[in-house]
A and B are shown apart, each in its own frame.
Chain A
Amino acid sequence: MSVSPRPGAALSNLPEMYREMVLVRELSSRAVALQRQGRIGSWLGSEGQEAAMVGSAHALEPFDWVFASYREHAVPLVRGVPVVALFNHLFANVDDNARGRNLPPEYTFREVNFVSVSAPVGNQALQAVGAATAAQIRGDRTVVMTYFGDGTASQGDVHTAMVFAAQLKAPVVFFCQNNGWAISVPTARQSAVPLVERAAAVGLKGIQVDGNDAQEVLDATRAAVDRARSGAGPTFIVAMTYRLGAHSTSDDPSKYRDAAELARAEARDPLRIARAQLGLSDSEDEAIRAEARRAIAEAVAQAERVPRPQAIELCDGVYAEMPWHLRLEQQEL
């Protein structure tokens, strides 16, 4: 089932969402360049998925929680994390709030209830259900959103999370960015049915949306968030989008994806769609892009100047208090 934008719906969020979509496009493509130049370790690009990320993030309240995958770079930005904080993480410097302990896309921003990203895909879905259940136990109004990709939808933990969520009526929204590809394997080879059909089997409401239309994503996600908050249960949203770039900076999609498919996807670039909806002139659009480039360049320059952690920190923060065996190992540094 598909939700269409309401006829004549106010596009009040779209100008702001467009600026954020442009910003994260610039952030991601800059991160790829930084990796190529050997200045950061690795990156998982989000080009093409801006409408799905930004539209869904706009449906949440500040007190809501997010358990994301490694390809939702816009979500912390929409929730108010400064660009430089992301780049501090990418450069793994001492201003990074996790002290350089993780790969670039595995960040944490507790101040906006954005929980640590991990690489084993799908684990976060179960944790999201736990946090939502905790909110329910506490009587809080919190809704928990969890993101994952089409490939991850095959993981047992995602299925289990849906079973648990439906059973516990947890206030959670499962948001799948179906970008067409799980590294080199297309979605059609991952699932015999459209992913959204799985919702009915476990007792979730299922919605498939055009993930390249930010307003459509926002409207559908807002409805799911409201539904969760009212106690009516979890929803599984599948946002149909496309990964315009590589899976990661270690990947080369030209080996498995044909150019015609990419060209068709580029014609449905979410930035292009949003720009047309807004009716922006070339000069208006260029002003937005220039502002994004300036913000990213400034953040990169600032973050790159900050030193990396000292060796002595290696053994810090594993436990609440450093146990004797780590103190002993620390002496070998």
Chain B
Amino acid sequence: MPTLNLVQAINDALRTAMHADDRVVVLGEDVGKFGGVFRATLGLQEQFGDKRVIDTPLSEAGIVGTAIGMALYGLRPVPEIQFADFIYPAFDQIVNEMAKYRYRSGGQYPCPVVVRTPFGGGIKGGHYHSQSNEAYFCHTAGLQVVVPSNPYDAKGLLLSAIRGEDPVVFMEPKRLYRAAKGDVPDQDYTVPIGKAKVLREGQQVTLVTYGAMTVVAMEAAEQAAAAGISAEVLDLRTLVPLDLEAILASVEKTGRAIVVSEAPRTGSFAAEIAALIGEHAILHLEAPVLRVTGFDTPFPYALEAEYLPDARRVREAIDRVLSF
């Protein structure tokens, strides 16, 4: 089984999907001959031709709007938005159009577009190459929001997304594009959307996380273990629809929950998870649900390391819930 990094796994998924189904097309900025600025579409145009791997003019609204029309017509477009920070010109097309077509047409026009976009910090990108803006999409009825954290899941989740009947915002933690490596089967396989995964079992506290923060949560859990504390790490993998069952199963066991996310805190998806745990598991809780998140500031440049949650901050939160 080949060892791939996360961006290679995305490339593998796209190739697999395009090979299996000629309705699948890729479009975006620099996705053709160049293979995308992160190389996620490397070699696809060479293999599938410039009708199925389209270098578009430079307009995010144009990329997503065009992809929507393609999906309505019956294709399975996978547009790439070069950075999630640049997705806002396409926001109207995503929230008012792509997300709403099925509902507003009474099911006559499903709109199975998968918008792929790298997101999150950790690459010294400043506030226009680092944002974690998933909350906007989680708040939008009609969208699925998927965030892989490792190469195996990235391939399987992307194949599920492309083959699903609903529009998906597929957010790729760019910090892990090359850092995360793992075995990825050559074969065609899927990982189901809406299912979380326990990355590490533990008894005293649950770290609920996703994307690049899984690495931070795992590091914190290991440090905690060295101090005699047993922490469980749950990788959500999909934010919408959320695997609440998995969250509750873990929290009911541990009695404590910390949500670790690099997005700004106020109005965040971390807040939604905390609210759900409060609504559904209050009698199992030994301590308040805490959030370790990015700050309610623009994403900084020089102070990036301070902005992003790290193992120290997660450890402090673990200490707080255990000593509550």
Contacting residues, chain A, for B191 (C-beta < 8 A): none
User: Is A312 engaged at the interface, CB distance under 8 Å to the other chain?
Assistant: no
Cβ–Cβ contact A160 & B106, under 8 A: no
Given contacts A160-B65, A164-B56, A325-B242, contact A133 B70 (CB under 8 A): yes
- Taking the closest CB of chain A, its distance from the CB of B6, in whole angstroms, is 26
Q: How far is the CA of A164 from the CA of B66 in the complex (A)?
A: 9
Q: Which of A101, A118, A125, A157 contacts B106, CB < 8 Å? A: A101
Give the interface segment out of B30-38, B93-101, B198-206, B258-266: B93-101
Q: Which of A125, A135, A319, A323 contacts B73, CB < 8 Å? A: A135
Residue of B nearest to A123 (CB): B97
User: Is A267 engaged at the interface, CB distance under 8 Å to the other chain?
Assistant: no
Contacting residues, chain A, for B66 (C-beta < 8 A): 126-127, 129-130, 133, 164
Within 8 A of B (CB), among A147-180: 156-157, 160-161, 163-164, 167-168
- Taking the closest CB of chain A, its distance from the CB of B29, in whole angstroms, is 12
Q: Which of B72, B102, B104 contacts A127, CB < 8 Å? A: B72
Cβ–Cβ contact A320 & B102, under 8 A: yes
User: Is A134 engaged at the interface, CB distance under 8 Å to the other chain?
Assistant: yes
Instruction: Give the size range of A's interface with the partner.
Output: 35 or more
Q: How far is the CA of A136 from the CA of B251 in the complex (A)?
A: 52
Cβ–Cβ contact B93 & A134, under 8 A: no
Contacting residues, chain B, for A120 (C-beta < 8 A): 92, 96-97
Q: Which of B57, B65, B104, B110 contacts A123, CB < 8 Å? A: B65
Given contacts A101-B106, A123-B97, A320-B102, contact A128 B69 (CB under 8 A): yes
User: Is B122 engaged at the interface, CB distance under 8 Å to the other chain?
Assistant: no
Q: How far is the CA of A110 from the CA of B107 in the complex (A)?
A: 10
Cβ–Cβ contact A129 & B65, under 8 A: yes
User: Is B59 engaged at the interface, CB distance under 8 Å to the other chain?
Assistant: yes
Residue of A nearest to B165 (CB): A320
Cβ–Cβ contact A126 & B93, under 8 A: yes
Given contacts A123-B92, A319-B102, A320-B164, contact A115 B62 (CB under 8 A): no
Contacting residues, chain B, for A65 (C-beta < 8 A): 73
User: Is A317 engaged at the interface, CB distance under 8 Å to the other chain?
Assistant: yes
Cβ–Cβ contact B59 & A163, under 8 A: yes
Cβ–Cβ contact B109 & A129, under 8 A: no
Q: Which of A102, A131, A160 contacts B69, CB < 8 Å? A: A131
Q: How far is the CA of A11 from the CA of B65 in the complex (A)?
A: 38
Cβ–Cβ contact A97 & B69, under 8 A: no
Residue of A nearest to B280 (CB): A328
Cβ–Cβ contact A134 & B106, under 8 A: no
Contacting residues, chain A, for B135 (C-beta < 8 A): none
Cβ–Cβ contact B108 & A110, under 8 A: yes
User: Is A137 engaged at the interface, CB distance under 8 Å to the other chain?
Assistant: yes
Interface size on B, residues (CB 8 A): 48
Contacting residues, chain A, for B57 (C-beta < 8 A): 160, 163-164, 167
- Taking the closest CB of chain B, its distance from the CB of A130, in whole angstroms, is 2
Q: How far is the CA of A144 from the CA of B70 in the complex (A)?
A: 12
Cβ–Cβ contact B69 & A127, under 8 A: yes
Cβ–Cβ contact A317 & B106, under 8 A: yes
Given contacts A127-B68, A129-B69, contact A134 B74 (CB under 8 A): yes
- Taking the closest CB of chain B, its distance from the CB of A120, in whole angstroms, is 5
Q: How far is the CA of A148 from the CA of B54 in the complex (A)?
A: 27
User: Is A98 engaged at the interface, CB distance under 8 Å to the other chain?
Assistant: yes
Cβ–Cβ contact A101 & B103, under 8 A: yes
- Taking the closest CB of chain A, its distance from the CB of B305, in whole angstroms, is 35
Cβ–Cβ contact B96 & A116, under 8 A: no
Interface string of A296-333 (1 = CB under 8 A from B): 00000000000000000000011110011100000000
B-to-A contact residues, CB < 8 Å: 25, 51-52, 54, 56-57, 59, 61-62, 65-75, 77, 89, 92-93, 96-97, 100-110, 141-142, 144, 164-166, 194, 240-242, 244
Q: What are 23 A-B pairs at a CB distance below 8 A?
A: A101-B104, A108-B106, A108-B109, A123-B65, A126-B69, A129-B66, A130-B70, A131-B69, A133-B69, A134-B74, A136-B51, A137-B25, A157-B92, A160-B59, A160-B65, A161-B65, A163-B57, A164-B56, A164-B62, A318-B102, A318-B103, A320-B165, A320-B166
Please give 20 more A-B residue pairs, beta carbons under 8 A apart, in addition to A97-B108, A126-B69, A324-B241.
A65-B73, A67-B69, A99-B106, A102-B104, A126-B66, A127-B65, A127-B68, A127-B69, A130-B69, A131-B72, A131-B73, A134-B69, A135-B73, A160-B59, A160-B62, A163-B59, A167-B56, A317-B103, A320-B164, A323-B194
